[in-house]
Structure 1
Amino acid sequence: MEITSIDQLDFNKTYSYADYLLWKFQERLELIKGKIFAISPALSRKHQDISFNITLTLGNLFKKVPCKYM
């Protein structure tokens, strides 16, 4: 039976890969050892760029600092 809505799934049930192939909805899920796990949406490109720039800035700043946290 084709599954067209995530509401048709029982998150406590164990599913097979054959079951997974019948799921026809937009939500992203993973099937690991028969159990369903929701996949977080990817962060936006803008968010990734900002995070990268903050990390790069802090990394370059701390390269110049002689102390380190233990």
Structure 2
Amino acid sequence: MLNQAVDRKRCASCERWRGQRQAGSEAATVAIDSETSTGLCEGGGWDGSERRARSACGHWRLWPALNLPGAEPVR
């Protein structure tokens, strides 16, 4: 599994992304199977489109499962 930093604001750490993931082993990271992992965007700027875990858009929202202390859920 690869850890991706939440501060990069990529699909894997967005609440709208429906790909396979889990909270990372390091603080403020999300774990994905590979750089080519994909999932559907639901409600974001790419709504209904399949997106890679490392993709980005201006509608990113923190995935609540990461439960970062003091983090804003919407950015």
Q: TM-score surpassing 0.5?
A: no
Q: Which has the higher strand share?
A: 2
Q: Which of the pair has the greater relative contact order for Cα pairs under 8 Å at 6+ separation?
A: 2
Task: Give me the TM-score of the superposition, normalised by structure 1.
Answer: 0.27
Q: Which has the higher helix share?
A: 1
Task: Give me the TM-score of the superposition, normalised by structure 2.
Answer: 0.26
